[in-house]
Chain A
Amino acid sequence: MLSFKLQAWNAQAPGLESISDWGHWLEQPFPLSHELPKLSLKQIPPMLRRRFTELGRCAAGAALPLLEDVTAIPGVFASRHGDTPLTLSLLEGIADGEPMSPTGFSLAVHNAVSGLLSIARKDVSEVTAIAAFDNLIPHALLEAATQLQSRDKVLCLIYDVPLPELYQAYSPSEPFPFALAMLLSRDEGVDISIQQHPSEDTQSLSSDVLRMMRFMCGLDRQVHFAGKAHMGWTLCREA
């Protein structure tokens, strides 16, 4: 078992921009827009802001409010699918025989969001960009909590946008853009444990993201993530 302290968090989805928005929505859900409205991202200079795609705007919108008083912090950037709308548009361009946009290409890598945020914040702390098929959330937290062994605070940022229609038959994705930013600390905040344990490979009725957000909002004290190979993960808020 591994423990960490959650000092602060923030989450972003279309129409859900505060912790209380999330709490109300989880109790009385309604369909969210598939697209994130244009966020102002005023903290980022306009010449850099133009480089943020919807995925980056979503992730930055969740993370930046947590980092206002933080000058340097290592980050774990976790996204299951990455910027699939962008990579698909580049692939379609190749298929049409068009030369590829250098900007588009540079932003299509999995660590693009972390790179943009690093430039915007002038923070050269180390970043780790991960993708995971199953259990993205506990794996991202495991990486971040492990990094806490050598750092006082670590940012853990989990984000995805809906898959383009072409890919939707092949893999599940949330129907709305989503980002969860968590500030993990060694010594400040709520105690949370993360534990791996034997688990049945049961299909839960709601998605990992929705169950995680119920846990974040304090509606559930524990959240389980069922895994393949009969091993799963549980996050637990300590009393």
Chain B
Amino acid sequence: MSNLHQEIKQMIIDALDLEDIEAAEIHDDEPLFVDGLGLDSIDALEIGLALQKHYGIKLKSDSEETRQHFASVNALAALIQSQSNNK
């Protein structure tokens, strides 16, 4: 698990008050919403806010692209890496 992946998992746990969940319990390729971790639409908004705070990333809330970025920890890591490469 890369440092970035670890960092994202901890960000999710802190932002969403997932007190009972350890970072190691979140799998890199597991769906974050509904089936996998079981997050809901308010969590998606909260993760959007956390991405903005931590990485300066702003996303459109309703685009199909955003949906793909939020699919898993792997997808979020790819998003953050691509944004930092663009800078």
Q: Which residues of A contact B (CB under 8 A)?
A: 46-47, 50-51, 99, 101-103, 106
Using C-beta atoms within 8 Å of the partner chain, give the interface range for chain B. 10 to 19
Minimum C-beta distance from B53 to chain A (A): 7
Q: Name the B residues within 8 Å of A101 (CB-CB).
A: 46, 49
Interface residues of B in 38-52 (CB under 8 A from A): 38-40, 42-43, 45-46, 49, 52
Q: Name the A residues within 8 Å of B49 (CB-CB).
A: 99, 101-102
* B53 and A99 form a contact (CB under 8 A): yes
Q: Name the B residues within 8 Å of A51 (CB-CB).
A: 17
- Of A50, A99, A102, A106, which contacts B17 at CB under 8 A? A50
**How many A-B pairs fall under 8 Å by CB?**
25
Indicate if B79 sits at the interface (CB-CB under 8 A).
Answer: no
The interface residues of chain A, by DSSP majority, are classed as helix
- Give 7 pairs: A residue, B residue, CB < 8 Å, sorted on A: A47-B40, A50-B16, A50-B17, A50-B19, A102-B45, A103-B17, A106-B42
Q: Which residues of B contact A (CB under 8 A)?
A: 16-20, 38-40, 42-43, 45-46, 49, 52-53
Q: Name the B residues within 8 Å of A50 (CB-CB).
A: 16-19
* A46 and B20 form a contact (CB under 8 A): yes
Instruction: Known pairs A50-B19, A102-B46, A103-B42; list 12 more (Cβ under 8 Å).
Output: A46-B20, A47-B40, A50-B16, A50-B17, A99-B52, A101-B46, A101-B49, A102-B45, A103-B16, A103-B43, A103-B46, A106-B42
Minimum C-beta distance from B45 to chain A (A): 4
Q: Name the B residues within 8 Å of A46 (CB-CB).
A: 20
Minimum C-beta distance from B81 to chain A (A): 23
Closest A-B pairs by Cβ, 9 of them: A102-B45, A50-B17, A47-B38, A103-B42, A103-B46, A46-B20, A102-B46, A102-B42, A106-B42
